Amino acid sequence: MGIVNIDDGLHDQLRRACTVSHRSINAQANFWIKVGMLCEMHPDLSFQDIVANELRAAGVQPAPLRAGHT
């Protein structure tokens, strides 16, 4: 674990985003860093694909979609 210096504007965006995602500021920063790294490593995948892959890897099993929903 270490200290990362980020500019005030990005910190403000982290603070705002964590209220929506119900994460701590550190957890939100960790999420953005991890997803950003995965996006750079897999430019052929969308953000949604990456998050879905991470959820599956964590063992999350969503309920089936209802008819008419994609």
* Domain map (residue ranges) of the chain: 31-58
Place of tokens 């996006």: 39
Report the distance separating Cα 12 and Cα 23, nearest Å: 14
Dig out the tokens for 61 from the structure.
């099993």
Q: In the Cβ-directed half-sphere of 48, how many Cα atoms lie within 13 Å? A: 0
Mean pLDDT of the 42-61 span: 94
Residue 66 is given by DSSP the state P
pTM: 0.75
pLDDT at 69: 64
Mean pLDDT, the chain, whole residue set: 91
Residues 13-42 have pLDDT tens digits of: 999 999 999 999 999 999 999 999 999 999
Residue 67 reports pLDDT greater than 90: no
Give strand ranges (E) for the chain: none
- Contact yes or no for 28/21 (Cβ under 8 A): yes
pLDDT at 70: 61
